Structure 1
């Protein structure tokens, strides 16, 4: 369910289906996102517009978007450097101007399932926890040349019963913030079985992975 709450300066759009419960919002500004209450729980005016926009920028899944009411850019400004952050035992956090199969997405952030268990593929829905998914957030560094351009559009193309093909300028970043690869195209494991995570090694075929 998508909730839209308008304040004096900014409007918060919350997409619960995209939320992976990173809890950045309720931990950094519990007066804006009030946890564990019945009824209203989002208060855009409880912090400055700049702080609320920062909450949107820090939401890895894109579940929180913050729009300025004066039509200036809020939390949806595209990044200067496109990144794919590998979360320990969890999803891939993408920050870029995102296309999904060629269709523009709202907001520059998304978390992509890599355990194979999400019911909201290609996005993460938190299923990796119950599935007991384990995968390092510190993949081996690959030798790679600096990208001529570091921003721009990234197209996420789910391959039927296979990996996610991503096309665009992208820096793969470890959980501790190190750039471990630079690509303009990559095939990312989303079945959870690759021995070369976060990249596909063809294991989805033997695993009988099924996904659109």
Structure 2
């Protein structure tokens, strides 16, 4: 499905169905803007202010919802701290100025770590059907504070292997505890590492395969 674009008087709302993980922040927080279970038009930007639309988008962990302003006001900015949040039995939720294999990917996305997604490297909620279990509270690794906490974050999905991430990154638990800080990381996406969320080479033993 192509990205859906709905223009309001003050802001344009963009919705990318291929990245949606149905976290439901949009339909629960503003059911007057994102109206669930209806035929036809379901996004109504003019039912909220531009600032409220921005808040809805910023709460969307997958980046499925984004927006463009229709005046000279600034749009979404890169976060001041690049983070990868480890979600319990679920994906990695990243916030940064992200590129994937050199292509801009926005400021928010969720990446599969169960190995079952049909939309790799993105999460498509297949972890639920696959019965994936993995703690959102991995052990803390001693690490020094980064000299810089923001900046571009490059993601390179290794074919049949892990996610290679280059750039300043703080891996945090689901409750916000700092797990590790680094400028390069290899993150598991086969679902079988014994050191989740980090790769330990198990993808080779289990024969993990990926198109990207």
The alignment's TM-score, normalised by the length of structure 2, stands at 0.97
Structure 1 residues 179, 47: closer, same or farther in 2, change over 3 A? Answer: same
Partner residue in 1 for 2:144: 145
Is residue 182 from structure 1 mapped to residue 192 from structure 2 by the alignment? no
The residue aligned with 1:194 is 193
1:42-191 to 2 correspondences below 5 Å: 42-74=43-75, 76-105=76-105, 107-191=106-190
> How many residues align structurally?
210
For residues 9 and 162 of structure 1, the distance between their equivalents in structure 2, rounded to whole angstroms, comes to: 43
Q: Offset at 1:181?
A: 0.9
1:66 Cα shift? 1.4
**1:47 CA displacement:** 1.3
* Cα deviation digits, residues 103-140 of structure 1 (max 9, x gap): 222x2011000000111111101111111111000010
> Structure 1 CA distance, aligned partners of 2:170 and 2:72?
30
Q: CA RMSD in A?
A: 0.9
For residues 80-109 of structure 1, give each alpha carbon's deviation from its aligned partner in whole angstroms, at most 9, with x where no partner exists. Answer: 10110001000000100011112222x201
> Could you say what secondary structure the match of 1:196 adopts?
coil
Aligned counterparts of 1:25 and 1:173: Cα–Cα separation in 2: 24
State the partner residue of 1:6: 7
CA distance in 2, matches of 1:13, 1:145: 38
> Hey, what's the Cα distance between the residues in 2 that align with 1:136 and 1:45?
40
- What secondary structure sits across from 1:204 in the alignment? helix
Return the alpha-carbon distance in structure 1 between the equivalents of residues 166 and 144 of structure 2.
17
**CA shift at 1:184, angstroms?**
0.4
Q: Which runs of 4+ in 1 moved over 4 A?
A: none
By how many angstroms is 1:71 displaced?
4.4
Unpaired stretches in structure 2, ≥5 consecutive residues = none
- Cα offset, 1:72, TM superposition: 2.9
The separation in 2 between residues aligned to 1:48 and 1:5, in whole angstroms, is 15
| Cα deviation, residue 199, structure 1 | 0.3
